[in-house]
Amino acid sequence: MELLCNARPHASVPDRYVFPPEKRAVLQLDDDGVTLPVVDLHRAALSGDDGLRQRVAAEIVRAGKDFGFFQVVNHGVGEDVVRGFRDAASEFFAMPAEKKLPYCSSDQSKPFRLATSTTYDRGETRYWLDYLKLQCHPVTDELVQHWPAEPTSFRPRLAEFSEAVHDLAQTLLRLVAEGLGLSAGFFAGDLSGGDTQMNVNYYPPCPDPSLTLGLLPHCDRHLLTVLSQGDVAGLQARHIGRWLLVRPVPGALVINFGHQMEIVTNGALASVEHRAVTNSDRTRMSVATLIMPKMECRIGPAPEMVDEATNPAKFREFVFSEFMEAYYTAAASREDVLESFRIHEN
């Protein structure tokens, strides 16, 4: 496997990474100053103060409805915990190729693997990234054995980060439920209790970002994504027909909803398309934690979110594993994926 993280710096972009002009990213975005909301979770909101908690819940739902993407600060995941795992992951990518070779695989069922470019899209052109795809929660002794033993910090820092992000995700789900008028525990249990997957995306500097893409436009297939993008910009989210840059905010984590949230909320909180662009100066690394349902979980619009007269169900019921298969077949394209689950009105 030809990893970018071990390649000699490229003087120019090899042909197999050059996208046709209509698929390339616009780097200078004309966003009219529109920026994504930054929600202060106030940690305190999560304990006693009912009024504060309700305000934060409402703010999250507002941000979710307006953008589908937002950032959170004062989120309770310690800066040292975030930095600890980011450093360990950077060290992993920096290791010599022969140490990483045993992990290279395109077998999607592996609980830890390293690969290059993405595989959702069967096109010929490659994306400018290497990535780790790993299972990160629940943290069991058996699971930890699949994580790399080197660097030595990797396992303990990942375990710590994974637990903290998982706690935050559950907190966010309680707030989302409250903001939508659902019971606080609505998303707990099978809807968010699947094996949590993590993508560690590694985008080395690219000699000509105008020709390449880091990650294809896609929606996440799960319920909720918590992303640490560090301090290098590159993530763009779709908003009313254009792309918005998700500007790095110190200490913030980026939150977006996946297809399952859109379906369960009957469209109230949509999954929004996003992609990553490359840059010529610095390596960018993002860590995405994808909270997902159990494979056998039955999914469909929550009865509380449906009104036969004014807001009929937009999606049919299905089992989550069925959705996962459709996602691969449709190569992550938003409308193609959702199409087979949509109920069309006559």
* Interface with ligand OGA (CB under 6 A): 199, 201, 215, 220, 227, 229, 234-235, 274, 276, 286, 288
Kindly list the distances between the CA atom of residue 298 and the CA atoms of 166, 208, 319, in Å, as whole numbers in the listed order: 22, 45, 5
Question: CB of residue 103 vs Ni ion: minimum separation in angstroms?
Answer: 22
Residue 209 preceded by cis peptide, ω within 30: no
Q: For the segment 304-343, give every residue that binds Ni ion (CB under 5 A).
A: none
Closer by beta carbon to ligand OGA, 227 or else 292? 227
Q: Across-strand partners of 288?
A: 199, 227
Query: Which of 220, 259, 261, 285 touches Ni ion by CB under 5 A?
Result: 220
Residue 310 CB contacts under 8 Å (≥ 6 apart), including other chains: none
At its nearest, how many Å lie between ligand OGA and the CB of residue 258? 9
Minimum distance from CB of 46 to ligand OGA (Å)? 26
Partner in contact with 235, chosen from ligand OGA, Ni ion, none, beta carbon below 5 to 8 Å by kind:
ligand OGA
The item of Ni ion, ligand OGA, none sharing an interface with residue 199, based on CB under 5 to 8 Å by kind, is ligand OGA
Distance of CA 226 to the CA centre of its chain: 6
Q: How far is CA 220 from CA 20, 115, 214, in A?
A: 24, 19, 16
Segment interacting with Ni ion (CB under 5 A) among 22-30, 177-185, 220-228, 257-265:
220-228
The values of phi and psi at residue 214, to 5°, are -85, -45
Count of residues of this chain found to bind Ni ion when the rule CB under 5 A is applied: 1
Nearer to ligand OGA by Cβ, of 227 and 299: the residue is 227
212 touches which of ligand OGA, Ni ion, none (CB within 5 to 8 A by kind)? Answer: none
Find which of ligand OGA, Ni ion, none residue 286 binds, CB within 5 to 8 Å per kind: ligand OGA
- Distance, CA of 172 to CA of 174 (rounded, Å): 5
Q: Which residues contact 129 (CB under 8 A, 6 or more apart)?
A: 4, 116, 117, 118, 201, 202, 203, 214, 215, 276
**Smallest distance, ligand OGA to C-beta of residue 193, A:** 20
Partner whose binding site includes residue 213, from Ni ion, ligand OGA, none (CB under 5 to 8 Å by kind): none
User: At closest approach, how far in Å is the CB of 327 from ligand OGA?
Assistant: 12
Tokens 């190729």, located at residue: 97
Nearest by Cα to 53 from 63, 43, 38: 43
Secondary structure class of 344 (helix, strand, coil): coil
Q: Which is nearer to ligand OGA, 327 or 341 (CB)?
A: 327
Give min distance, CB of 19 to Ni ion, in A: 18
Q: What is the DSSP letter of 282?
A: S
Minimum distance of Ni ion from residue 208's CB (angstroms): 24
Q: Which residues of this chain interact with Ni ion, rule CB under 5 A? A: 220
